Amino acid sequence: MAAELGSAVVSSVASSVTESVFGSVRRKGSYVFKYQSYIEDLKNTAEELISKRERVEVSVDRAKRQGEQIFKDVEQWLINVDEFIKGAENIMNKEDKAKKCCLKGPCPSLVRRYMLSREAVKAEKDGTVLLGKANFKFLLSVISMTIKKEAMIKGGARY
């Protein structure tokens, strides 16, 4: 009875250790084998942020022309997006090095791919967080109300 219990405990411990070791190896191996996917995800996130930044900048410029005050979190978000885009461009520039062959042979540099993939995954997560923080509806509503007021004033002056 005790031998069966001991055997079951050892078996479950060995199973959990094996799962954690293989899980770690699988996760780290995915950086090499899913390299292109991670780089594409980073490019897509960067493109989305660039588009979102342009829309917010137009709204901020319009609000400044109207004499509205821009909130600090909006300004900080714009700064963070600029830093993210510079970092993403840096990673994408490093991609050329990762495509080079190792030891002048036909295989790609797996170490460079691994490192670049890890950077891309981390940067893509940061970009996703920035996209989530880009909900500046309050800024857009203030601007749209200002535009509507101007249209009403100009419309009333014509009649």
pLDDT tens readout for residues 43-94: 999 999 999 999 889 988 988 888 888 888 888 999 999 999 999 999 988 8
pTM metric for this prediction: 0.68
CA distance 82 to 61: 17
Q: How far lies 142's CA from each of 8, 57, 59, 69, 97, in Å?
A: 66, 14, 10, 10, 47
Q: 130: burial class by Cβ within 10 Å (0-12, 13-18, 19+)?
A: buried
pLDDT tens readout for residues 102-148: 556 556 677 888 888 999 999 999 999 999 887 766 554 455 555 55
Report helix, strand or coil for 108. strand
What are the domain boundaries of the chain?
A: 29-152
DSSP label of 133: T
